[in-house]
Amino acid sequence: MTNKEFEARIKGSTQPIVIDLWAPWCAPCRAMLPIFKEAEKKYAGKVKVMRINADESPEVIRALRVFGIPTVVGYSHGAEIIRRSGVLSPQGLDLIFDAAITGEKPARMPLAPRDRLLRGGAGLALLAIGWFIGPSWILLAAGAVVLFSAVYDRCPIYKAVAPRVAAIFHKSR
């Protein structure tokens, strides 16, 4: 597919479109395929789905400035609404489809289990290093912040306080 064909399909569509940019040699792309097929069935009739092979359409990949695959892009009314790279959870993919339908970006994408583990491990490592070399209060604080970033979206206190803090900053503008 050429870039002109791609743009014509996006601009000419009356339905929202979700695009899966993939390649046959890409293991994460193959891992995400069943999740994507399930979401495609779930949103059939509401969202058009395009799967673009990165190897067969390099012009489109360059025009979209895609640097990693798999990448999923949601379009609504011809405009890009959301883009995510890497393997997505079913919930993350649902957010992309919903964003394409509503035409609004979701507030936050949920963290993937892999990201939670990496952040949690990095936070614990910083805490351990900070404790054993001193204690080093800077490393302990950094470890606590990184560890909290792994679970903040599940914290009821954060959920209660964050909108209020955001409202304060939006008023001051």
Catalytic residues: 26, 29
| CB burial string 30-56: b at 16+ within 10 A, e below | eebeebbeebbeebeeebbbbebbbee
Q: Omega of the bond prior to 135 within 30 degrees of 0, cis?
A: yes
CA distance 89 to 35: 8
Angle at Cα 123 formed by Cα 107 and Cα 144, nearest 5°? 80
Look-up: residue for tokens 């490592």? 125
d(CA 150, CA 120): 6
Q: Which residues pair with 53 in a beta bridge?
A: 22
* Complete DSSP assignment for 46-79: TSEEEEEETTT-HHHHHHTT--SSSEEEEEETTE
